[in-house]
Each structure stands twice: as C-alpha cells, then as structure tokens.
Amino acid sequence: MRDFTPFLDLIREARNVLEGNVHRTPLTYSTYFSNITGKEVYLKLENLQKTGSFKVRGAYFKISSLLPDVRDKGVVAASSGNHAQGVAYSAMKLGVKATIVMPKSAPPYKVNATKSYGAEVILEGDVYDDAYAAAMRKSKESGAYFIHPFDDPYVIAGQGTIGVEIAEDLPDVDTVLVPVGGGGLISGISLGVKPSLRGRSVKIIGVEPEVDPKLKMSFRVGRPVTVKPMHSLADGVVTKSLGRLTFEVIRDLVDDALTVGEDDIARAMYLLLERAKLLAEGAGALPLAALLKYHDVIPGRKVVAVISGGNADLTTLYKVIMRGLAIEGRLARVNIKLKDEPGALKRALEVVARKGCNIVDIRHDRMNPSVKPGIALVELLIESPSPETTDELLKELELVGVKVIRHV
C-alpha cells in the first residue's frame, strides 16, 4: 500500500485553511430511510455547502495554496457545473481573477451562477472535453494557474475534510457511500475517514450511474479505463475516466463499486424532496439510490450517504418528480375504452373521485383506427394516494363496465 502521509498532512492543513471559509455541513440521522432500509442511515449534507456543492472545499484550498503569486496570474478552470462555481466563488473570496471555460451546452442557470461570483465565463465547444482543451490553451498562453476538478493533491485534500468531519461526528460508522466522477471526492473522503478511524473496519463504497461504470470497470482490470458515457440524471459525475492520482488512492482505500439506474436516481431525488425536504442533484442522490437498491448487501449497520450537491436543474426536477411519483405508485397512466355515449365518461370519473384520486390530464380519442365505431379511447393521468388505491380503482372501473386496456 502506498504511503499516504503527505495527503494526511495536506488534509490537516486544509482543515485550518477552510475553517470559517466553508461550512462544516450537518450529518443528520434519517428515521425514514433507516426504517425502509433496515440500517441506521445518516446523510452528509454537502448540498447545503457554499455554492451548493462539495467542490468549493478543494477549489478554495488549491487556490489558497498558490497565494500570493496567484493574485497576479489568476486561475482558469474548465467545467459545466459545480467545479465552475466552486472555483469562481473561491477566487472571489481570495481576491483572484478567475476565468471559467464552459461548453456551449452548459445550462444557462449554471453559467449565470458562475458569473454571479465574479468570474469571466467563456463558452467554448460542444462538450466538456472541448472546454478543457480551451482552458489548457488559455492557461498556457496567459500563465494563469489551471485548477483541475479532481486530479490534484490539494483538491483531493480539500474534499478529504468531509471524511474527517464524518469520522468526528460518527466515530462508529460502518460504511460510507460516495458518488464517483473523476474520483476526487471518494479518494479524499477515504483519506479522511480511514486514517481517522484506524482500528475500525470502515467500508468506503463508490456509486456511479449504470451508463458510466468507469470505477467498476477500473477495479476489474486494475487500472483506470476510459468509457464512453451516456446521458444521465447524475450528469455531475459523468466523465470518461478516473484521474491517475485519484485511482492510486481508490485502488488502496475504496472497497467496492455499485451502479444504479436512472429510475433509481429519480426515486432517490424524489424521496429526498418529499421525505427529507432536501434538494439534491442527480449526482448527489447516487449514494441514497444505491442504499435503497442494495441495502440487503451493503455491509454494516451505520451507513453514511454523502449527498454531494444540490444544484439541480429545475426543468429536470419537474420530470424527476413526475417520474418519482410514478415509481412510487402515486401517479398512474390508465387507458380505458368507453361506449361513446352521454354519461359514459361521467360514470368513470365518478369512480375516480370516490377513490380519492385526482385527474391530472385527460385525453379523448374517437379517431384512432384501432377503435371500433361507437367506442372512445380515453387516457387518464391520475394522482393516487397509493398503489393499492390505484389497483382498487381499476377493479371498480371494470365493475361499472369500463374496459381497462393498459395501466402504466
């Protein structure tokens, strides 16, 4: 195993630098998630961090390590999201000029948030890789320091302060679940937790989307691999590969990797909103998604899920809520056939009302070529108190002569 003493020294230094400049975020016990998983579940709320993400810890510590020279040269970074805001905020607080290169596809609200911290934003290319190349060119031309989003010892150490806080607040923790993008967060947390709790067998488990399983594949072959990721709700962790430096830490200190699907992520985001009153972006909800899916095989009793960020796109959030309601059986799409006669639809809707359900949308189709003359096809989008109520509703519709042909 590699000697990680230099990293541990940096984490101690990072704690001193970050104190008073970033939040020590809460570690809160969740009764609801504990009950449904059979674990003692604690949430580390980095979604309540300054700029809405853990990224500010590593960015602030890295930029501060470059003082005073950095005030003359400035910093440059490439990001389409949380790293951009973390660097911009840290630079503003430290009196440093920041230039952030973002892809043209970056959501406008993330661009505006980055600008609000005083950074110059340059839109370059269609994807992150284009922005990264442009940022590296600008760094070389201007002499500005490039702030890497994860593969840097100071960035890793900054994120490592989260691990130290977890170890201090819950010294008998058994398992910590962490989102994985480039690996800066999980490598830092591993370095913060395991040496702090020497003598305890704490498990660190990385979580990533099924469409971007780079950690799982890297573990399999014993080296960082490059994957071709697809779109995910957890866009904040979608990268082609882990960092070289981060994988060196991960290989020795991280115990396992789990993947979750898009519906798993949507359900976790939805339940955090409804049950915990917490807004988490897709990447931030990954650990809870894994816990909900794999609670029977995740080791240990006391489990921490690191909710790494809360910068969710509100247009995406609307879709997530609708999908979450559907997954939980609270929203149902029902296709029915009715006689095309006065009062037929009224009788069906009376059944819906009696069951305490609400019509969100209704569509009437008399022109469908698959429907016989005299019959109308009706699609209902229904809010229901529970899946059991929906099942009862479908049975009662059949009893009053309504043919249910599809239920989603």
Residue extents of the structural domains in the chain: 5-54+157-324, 57-146, 329-407
Cβ contact 184:58 at 8 Å: yes
Residue 80: what pLDDT?
A: 78
- Which CATH entry fits the domain spanning 57-146: 3.40.50.2020, 1.10.238.10, 3.40.50.1100, 3.30.750.210? 3.40.50.1100
Residue 108: what pLDDT?
A: 85
Residue 304 to residue 197: CA distance in whole angstroms? 15
Q: Which of 79, 80, 90, 308 is catalytic?
A: 308
pLDDT tens per residue across span 132-165: 899 999 999 999 999 999 999 999 999 999 999 9
On the question of a common fold for 5-54+157-324 and 57-146, the answer reads yes
**The CATH fold of domain 329-407:** Alpha-Beta Plaits (3.30.70)
Residue 342: what pLDDT?
A: 86
Among candidates 50, 104, 49, which has minimal Cα distance to 78?
Answer: 104
10 Å Cβ neighbour count for 226? 12
> What's the pTM value of the predicted model, to 2 decimals?
0.90
Could you confirm whether domain 5-54+157-324 is CATH 3.40.50.11740? no
pLDDT-derived band of residue 274, with 50, 70 and 90 as boundaries?
very high
User: Mean pLDDT over residues 321-332, rounded?
Assistant: 85
Q: Is the pLDDT of residue 1 over 70?
A: no
User: Mean pLDDT over residues 208-228, rounded?
Assistant: 93
Q: Which of 55, 110, 194, 214 is catalytic?
A: 55
Is residue 44 annotated as a catalytic residue, yes or no?
no
List the Cα angle 249/143/111 in 5-degree steps: 75
Q: Is the pLDDT of residue 382 over 70?
A: yes
Is residue 232 annotated as a catalytic residue, yes or no?
no
